[in-house]
Amino acid sequence: MLVFARERTPKPRGHAVVVGAGVSGLLSARVLSERFDRVTIVERDALPEEAVARKGVPQARHLHSLAARGSEILEDLFPGLDEELAAAGCPLLDQASDAVTVLAAGRLPRFRSGITMRSASRALVERRIRARLEEAPNINFLPGREVVGLLPGPKEISGVKTRSRVDGTPEELSADLVVDASGAGSRAPRWLEEIGHKAPGETVVDARLGYATRWYRVPGDFSGDWTGVAVLPGWPETTRGGTLRRVEGDLWTAVLIGTGGDYPPTDPEAFVSFAASLHSPDIHDAIRDAEPASPVYGYRRTANRLRHYERTRLPGNFLVAGDAACVLNPSYGQGMTAAAISAMALRGCLDGGPASNLSRRFQRRQREAVAPCWTATTNSDAQWAAGGLEDLGLARRILYRISEEVMELAVARQDVARTLLGVKNLIEPPVALLRPGILIPALARTTKRRKTRPHPTAPAEDELVAGG
Ligand SMILES: Cc1cc2nc3c(=O)[nH]c(=O)nc-3n(C[C@H](O)[C@H](O)[C@H](O)COP(=O)(O)OP(=O)(O)OC[C@H]3O[C@@H](n4cnc5c(N)ncnc54)[C@H](O)[C@@H]3O)c2cc1C
């Protein structure tokens, strides 16, 4: 049976085990199924028939945006998925004409950008992908079982140790390749230490950002000209923001965020008041009288965390993918796309090169492939992590000044707004925002502004006078 788009010359290499049936685990399994004769996905949760949030994926209650690059990869791996999501009631929105985006610098222009997003809940996306894998003859799910360690072998590892979540029964599962896709809470560093390997070093950039999310029914008489609204924070003063978007089932998901420790509340009334305090009223105006369809859910573990597996000596047949290797601040909406990019990196490694020492090649390739996501989110979050402008190093201060001007240009010019959306959607590299047509006017504006406003760390005239 031809289940997927690309059936390859079968070159079975035995049994691959994937830890975790989240987006990264499912996409890794999809790619592995092209080259292994058997793929087993071990998942600690029971896997429900319906598209609902699971205990092991608490983030599924929060809005998940799928960047355009992520949609392209998903469609490549699962042809027709987008049509399925459309049939399930997920709206397609052009990110400039059907969405309102309010930066601290002002509103992006509304125009047809051609950069679209299928607006679906995370639970639905995951369920539809899982359904495709359930049809594949060589992919097997082991739900209700958690991986608790690695089985050492003579040279590499020989499989994983598992335990039933129902009655605690232990079971060993032998494997030729193991991919850890168990998410941000991955225990792989500890598993490695237990078999005599070193745990990876970590880089953490924490903007101290919190989420509060509530679902609403879209009012029957809603007449707004948008499918989604995003009000973005802007360092250093504008700590608050939010997103409201229509998803399947005629629901709105409203997410409020607060950065630099200004966490949004989960009390329902305080939630609405927080919405009213944003620098643009759109979200508050929409939800004020809308009927809630859920409680308010909070989430605060949002730090960017890169585990440096690319620099770690791993067993050659043990790989770490998705959030288990690189967690991105979720408010940038890139995690699922990064997982998709990692899966393509895995496919690239499986296609070319020898089977030996796959982990080294994969971890390096994955690190390079997700570098644009990591750089974009951490450049911005380093500012929140640092504090005030005076706490930034010179290079970051210059970068900040330029990006501030680029945002102003994006508000004024459609072409810059389109590039900004292209970068955010990972279909254009971050350097696209530094092309001469943007950089030169941004630099000119920075220079002009420096001449007209005092340096923020310089004491004001009256302070100098008062201080003698
Ligand atoms: C609040 C929030 C909002 C987000 N919003 C967005 C967004 O808008 N857009 C976007 O692209 N991304 C978003 N993300 C990120 C996104 O959820 C993840 O990056 C993406 O799903 C990839 O995650 P993953 O598959 O690596 O891990 P997960 O999705 O966390 O999946 C890990 C899986 O492994 C299972 N597991 C864990 N340990 C074990 C074990 N020992 N044995 C067996 N199974 C195990 C878990 O039960 C789970 O099913 C958001 C994240 C958060 C926290």
Average pLDDT score, the chain: 92
Torsion of CA 438, 444, 448, 450, to 10 degrees: 80
- Tell which CATH classification among 3.30.2130.10, 3.40.50.1580, 3.30.70.380, 3.30.70.2450 matches the domain 92-114+208-299: 3.30.70.2450
pLDDT at 455 over 60: no
Residues flanking ligand 1, CB < 6 Å: 19-25, 42-45, 56-57, 59, 62-66, 146-147, 181-184, 211, 299, 322-324, 330, 333-337, 339
Q: Two tokens at 462?
A: 């009256």
How many angstroms is it from 213 CA to the middle of ligand 1? Answer: 17
CA-closest candidate to residue 345, choices 320, 328, 377, 327: 320
The residue whose C-alpha atom lies closest to atom 1 belonging to ligand 1 is 59
pLDDT digits (tens, 9 = 90+) for 295-328: 999 999 999 999 999 999 999 999 999 999 999 9
pLDDT at 464 over 60: no
Other Cβ atoms within 10 Å of 86 Cβ, number: 14
- Asked whether 364 and 186 are in contact (CB, 8 A), the reply is no
Coil vs helix vs strand at 171: strand
- The pLDDT, as a whole number, for residue 205 is 96
CA-closest candidate to residue 323, choices 19, 38, 12: 19
Question: Stretch 387-395: mean pLDDT, rounded?
Answer: 84
Q: What is the pTM of this model?
A: 0.93
Confidence band (pLDDT; 50, 70, 90) for 155?
A: confident
The residue whose C-alpha atom lies closest to atom 42 belonging to ligand 1 is 146
pLDDT digits (tens, 9 = 90+) for 230-283: 999 999 889 999 999 999 999 999 999 999 999 999 999 999 999 999 999 999
CA distance 288 to 280: 14
Percent of the chain whose predicted confidence (pLDDT) is above 70: 93
CA distance 226 to 95: 10
354 preceded by a cis bond (ω within 30 of 0): no
Burial class for 258, CB neighbours closer than 10 Å (0-12, 13-18, 19+)? buried
CA distance 59 to 150: 27
Confidence band (pLDDT; 50, 70, 90) for 353?
A: low
Ligand 1 mutation pick, 30, 69, 122, 342, max ligand atoms within 8 A of CB: 122
Domain 15-64+121-204+303-376 superfamily per CATH: FAD/NAD(P)-binding domain (3.50.50.60)
Domain boundaries, the chain: 15-64+121-204+303-376, 92-114+208-299, 388-452
CA distance 201 to 235: 29
